Amino acid sequence: MPAVRIADGDLNYRFDGPNDAPVLLLSNSLGTNLSMWDVQIPAFSEHLRVLRYDTRGHGGSLVTPGAYSIDQLGRDVLAMLDALKIQTFNFCGLSMGGLIGQWLGINAGERLDKLVLCNTGAKIGTDEIWNERIDSVQAGGGHAMRNLRDASIGRWFTPAFAEAKPEDAGAIADMIAATSPQGYAANCAAVRDADFREQIGTITAPTLIVCGSHDPVTTLEHGRFMQERIPGAQLIELETAHLSNVEARDDFTHPVLAFLRS
Over residues 89-144, the pLDDT tens digits come to 999 999 999 999 999 999 999 999 999 999 999 999 999 999 999 999 999 998 99
**Residue among 86, 80, 101 at smallest CA distance from 7:** 80
**Which residues are paired to 16 by β-bridges?**
50
Q: What is the pLDDT of residues 240-259, one digit of tens each?
A: 999 999 999 999 999 999 99
- Identify which of 107, 91, 19 has the alpha carbon closest to the alpha carbon of residue 53: 91
**Positions of E strands within the chain:** 3-6, 9-16, 23-27, 49-53, 89-94, 112-118, 207-212, 234-238
Question: What is 3-261's CATH topology?
Answer: Rossmann fold (3.40.50)
- Pick from 143, 256, 154, 144: nearest CA to 208: 256
Residues forming a β-bridge with 236: 210
Q: Among residues 127, 132, 109, which one has the least CA distance to residue 202?
A: 109
- For residue range 54-95, list pLDDT tens digits in order: 999 999 999 999 899 999 999 999 999 999 999 999 999 999
| 17 CB-near residues (< 8 Å, 6+ apart) | 44, 45, 46, 47, 48, 49, 50
